[in-house]
Amino acid sequence: KQEVTQIPAALSVPEGENLVLNCSFTDSAIYNLQWFRQDPGKGLTSLLLIQSSQREQTSGRLNASLDKSSGRSTLYIAASQPGDSATYLCAVPIDSGSRLTFGEGTQLTVNP
Amino acid sequence: NAGVMQNPRHLVRRRGQEARLRCSPMKGHSHVYWYRQLPEEGLKFMVYLQKENIIDESGMPKERFSAEFPKEGPSILRIQQVVRGDSAAYFCASSPSGREPFFGQGTRLTVV
């Protein structure tokens, strides 16, 4: 059974810092890995999707990497801003379909 | 093309009442997924439906919970005889076949 773990559970940084969020998964036979952002009381916004054949994906100040063999992914946020404050979730498909197993998330606070 | 629409956004029910949560998938999406997020926990998969069929309900509690996705109209997640422990955010996601899902804003159920 796939298990997804995210470290740290919470992170507080001053504005402008570069930071790394970690995600690990127990079954390396994944089809892709997705990073989401969740704002308080809101839904999920997809940030980056990395296919199993890819090593990384970039979008603006965000860069996600994937190492299937070690069961790890990282989300790198450059030059953090207060608007980046949110909970970041990683998720992998349960199988080849679209059902997802989520980590518990990292709650990020960027202080002005 | 509107996103995944969930209503109501907030729902308050007394213990013992029924809760009906609705999800309208994105246009052209025939796959619907329901997830539950308990307070201070990650999202957990509940059920996967295609039109008129339940494909995977392995995450659904065995009693009081049911889901449907009729040929016409939205998908419905129904919780009978609600208890305090049912208080959570319920998210719906939809996808075209075999693609990454898009999430709705969620319905926040409070049982008093």
B76 at A interface, C-beta within 8 A? no
- Is there a contact between A102 and B43 if contact means CB atoms under 8 Å apart? yes
For testing the chain A interface, which of B4, B11, B36, B43 should be mutated: the one with the most A CBs within 10 Å? Answer: B43
On the question of pLDDT at A97 being above 80, the answer is no
B69-89 residue pLDDT tens: 999 999 999 999 999 999 999
- Is there a contact between A43 and B48 if contact means CB atoms under 8 Å apart? no
- Is there a contact between A98 and B93 if contact means CB atoms under 8 Å apart? yes
Mean pLDDT, residues B15-36 taken together: 96
Interface of A with B in 11-30 (CB under 8 A): none
On the question of pLDDT at B100 being above 60, the answer is yes
Kindly state the greatest CA–CA separation across chain A: 42
- Is there a contact between B48 and A41 if contact means CB atoms under 8 Å apart? no
How far, in Å, CA of B57 to CA of B33, rounded? 10
Residue of B nearest to A49 (CA): B100
- Can you read off the two tokens belonging to residue A65? 């990497």
- Can you read off the two tokens belonging to residue A31? 């089809």
Mean pLDDT, residues B85-109 taken together: 91
A1-43 residue pLDDT tens: 889 999 999 999 999 999 999 999 998 888 899 999 999 888 8
Q: Give the H/E segment covering residue B90.
A: strand B88-95
Please state, rounded to an integer, the average pLDDT across all residues of chain B. Answer: 93
User: What SS3 state is found at B75?
Assistant: strand
On the question of pLDDT at B1 being above 60, the answer is no
Buried-exposed string A7-34: b where 16+ CB fall within 10 A, e elsewhere: eeeebebeeeeebebebbbeeeebbbbb
- Smallest Cβ–Cβ distance between B56 and the set A49, A99, A103 belongs to A99
What's the gap in Å between the CA of B18 and the closest CA on chain A? 23
- Is there a contact between A103 and B98 if contact means CB atoms under 8 Å apart? no
